[in-house]
Structure 1
Amino acid sequence: MNRFNVRVYGILLNDKQEVLISDEREYGIEFSKFPGGGLEFGEGLIEGLQREFMEECQLEVDVIQHIHTTDRYLKSAFDDSQVIGVYYLVRSDGRLNCRIGKHPFDFDSDTEPNQVFRWMSIHQLDPETLTFEMDRIAWQAFLATMRP
């Protein structure tokens, strides 16, 4: 059966012009992406994004602006669903309450699923650092919003 998989992600910047990246290991696969995840049935996009940040970082976020919505067919890396990703620029006055690694995949154990976050300079984040095509496309869309 064909189905859609709606995902919502946040691009969170700090005052050092760094962006928060989530490094994860699940199903035997390691991947780097923006914080966020799957929308639950009955949930709005912003509500889902706020829930994801609370679950992953114990952080309340405010949505600043829409950055990108997937506008082409993308198959999930994990199943046969079609993935639709919605990306927002977010901000927070709160403090992250999650593990911040010093390098990619700086996990503290070999268990699955596993997740660690890291800050990367927006000027040094090569789109290829991001595992999934939809994240790379959204990052390019974000960078385009920053150009004069």
Structure 2
Amino acid sequence: MSKKFFNLRVYGLLINEANEVLISDEQEYGFKFTKFPGGGLEYGEGLIEGLKREFVEECNTEVEVISHFYTTDFFVKSAFNDSQIISVYYLVKAVSELRFTTKIEVFDFDGEGDVLQSFRWVKLSDLTVDAFTFPTDQYVADLLLKTI
């Protein structure tokens, strides 16, 4: 019997003054996916601390949490292993200059390697659930569209 475990993830919904939300296109070991910026919590971190670390690591940008937006309330199995994903989403705002490059095309990566990432701003009016790969991001996108 294989050992099952929980995988705690934390994500930020960063919306700019042009009413666009930041999304992340990624590729890991040949698997391409689109999600909101963020990632896994490290042992010993709180949710907000982990989210702030993820934005610095991925976007070279410091953020402040505005409010909690959503926590997973349905079963989601990881696409990468046998873990159950629990995701927490926060509305965030940048508190430092935005120091990352954004792209227009999906999966427009610079360079090569096993792990690649690029960011895009998407107008909330153009955002669709189908733009996202994973069920929780899809649910959050739908919820975001219903609340704006």
**Cα distance, 1:40 vs structure 2:** 0.5
1:2-52 deviation digits (Å, cap 9, x = unpaired): 100000000001100000010000021001100000001110000000000
Matches within 5 A, 1:64-143: 64-143=66-145
* CA deviation vs aligned residue, 1:104-143 (integer Å, no higher than 9, x gap): 1111123220001010001101111011000011122223
Q: Residue 55 in 1 paired to residue 57 in 2?
A: yes
Amino acid at match of 1:112: D
C-alpha RMSD over aligned residues:
1.0
Match of 1:2 in 2: 4
| Counterpart code for 1:95 | E
CA distance in 2 between partners of 1:99 and 1:105 (Å) = 13
Deviations 1:48-99 (A, max 9, x none): 0000000011111011111110001100000010000000000014222223
Counterparts of 2:125 and 2:145 in 1: how far apart (Å)?
10
* Structure 2 stretches lacking a partner, 5+ long: none
Which piece of structure 1 moves more, 135-144 or 84-93?
A: 135-144
Aligned residue in 2 for 1:31: 33
Please identify runs of 4+ aligned residues in structure 1 that moved more than 3 A: none
> Which amino acid in 1 is paired with 2:39?
G
CA contact (8 A) 1:127 1:139 kept: yes
Structure 1 unaligned residues grouped into runs of 5+: none
Q: The residue matched to 1:128 in structure 2 has which SS?
A: helix
Match of 1:42 in 2: 44
TM-score where L is the length of structure 2: 0.95
- The answer on whether the counterparts of 1:67 and 1:141 sit within 8 Å (CA) in structure 2 is no
* TM-score normalised over the length of structure 1: 0.95
